[in-house]
Structure 1
Amino acid sequence: MGQRGSADRNWLLVLDGLPDPVTRSREFTRRALTAWQWLPAEGEAVREAAEDVLLLVSEVVANACLHGGGPGALVLDRTDERLRIEVTDTNPAPPEPGGHGLPSDPARPGGHGLLIVERLARAWGSRPGALGKCVWLEVPWPAAGLSPERPAP
């Protein structure tokens, strides 16, 4: 499991064929957030934002496993204003909140991943890819005094 790209801005994890891609994606994202000084972080708002990012990564990768034919890659791309998360898969069909056209039953497990994404992400969507699609989402950079350019303590 390796990272490519600038450690300062972009991280790429190839997931195709990896066992347990959800756990691997969370570990990878946790390392990126640590490198970008989200973790460990001072302040409740920053810690909550980091936990939200880990949950969002888990949900999008799990959806690729369940509905997308398996995840291809995870990309983390940050700017001074936002963190963008992208997950590719081999299914060209766009994601549908509520279980692929079926009404969501709050009493049943599953089928709520995109509802979580809608609640926690600033924006999200999908775009066609060469072999399927890319599901992306964005969250704001935490505002609790952190700057992505601030040197590590």
Structure 2
Amino acid sequence: MSTTRPYPPPGEPGPEAEGAASPVTPPPAGQVRRLRLVGVSGAVPRSRDFARQALQDWGWLPAATADHRAAAEDVLLVVSELVTNACLHADGPEELRVSCAGKVLRLEVVDLGAGQPAPRTPHRAGRPGGHGMFIVQRLCLDWGVVRHDGRPGKTVWAELAAPA
């Protein structure tokens, strides 16, 4: 989990990453796309489709270059891992939020779980399962957890660089 800088509250995009490139077509300032997931079957594919549509609307897809394609695939993989983690360990996700501010795309998954997501250590690449948060840690600029005040649950957030 991030210990390198303070993280903003849920729904508020984090600071821009130094040296990252601008997104192809930035979304309107302050736009946060939200997908309610309470009681939804197929939350992971639905979340990927939702994120893919945002990437299409913002000009990331169809990808013009291999780097753009890799950046979009990383976003979709992180969405899958965060939502899957909420399904398996936090009684299911409540909401997915996707936003892009400047040079950073931010993903947030809200759930009711009390657990603390963390990459398994030591990471054992050859074993099935348990790779989700390790993948998030490796692909993202930063990630963290925000606890909800006065109610159960948390928001797990992750930030990725926009494609060059």
TM-score (norm 2): 0.77
* Structure 2 Cα separation of the partners of residues 125 and 53 of structure 1: 16
| CA deviations over 1:100-134 (Å, ceiling 9, x no partner) | xx754433211000010011000001010233010
Query: Which residue number in structure 2 is paired with residue 125 of structure 1?
Result: 144
Q: Which of the numbers 72, 75, 80 marks the counterpart of 1:58?
A: 80
| CA deviations over 1:49-79 (Å, ceiling 9, x no partner) | 0000000000000000001110010000111
Query: Which residue number in structure 2 is paired with residue 142 of structure 1?
Result: 163
Structure 1 segments of 4+ aligned residues over 6 angstroms from their partners = none
| CA deviations over 1:8-60 (Å, ceiling 9, x no partner) | 33100000111110000000000000000000021110110000000000000
* Structure 2 Cα separation of the partners of residues 53 and 65 of structure 1: 18
Query: Which residue number in structure 2 is paired with residue 109 of structure 1?
Result: 128
Query: Which residue number in structure 1 is paired with residue 39 of structure 2?
Result: 17
Residue identity opposite 1:77 in structure 2 = S
Query: Which residue number in structure 1 is paired with residue 99 of structure 2?
Result: 77
Query: Which residue number in structure 2 is paired with residue 43 of structure 1?
Result: 65
SS of residue paired to 2:126: coil
Structure 1 vs Structure 2 CA RMSD: 1.4
Identity, in percent, stands at 47
The runs of 5 or more residues in structure 1 that have no matched partner are 1-6, 144-153
The runs of 5 or more residues in structure 2 that have no matched partner are 1-26
Q: CA deviation at 1:136?
A: 0.2
Q: CA deviation at 1:92?
A: 2.3
Contact 2:123–2:134 under 8 Å retained in 1 = no
SS of residue paired to 1:46: helix
TM-score (norm 1): 0.83
Q: CA deviation at 1:140?
A: 1.1
SS of residue paired to 1:110: coil
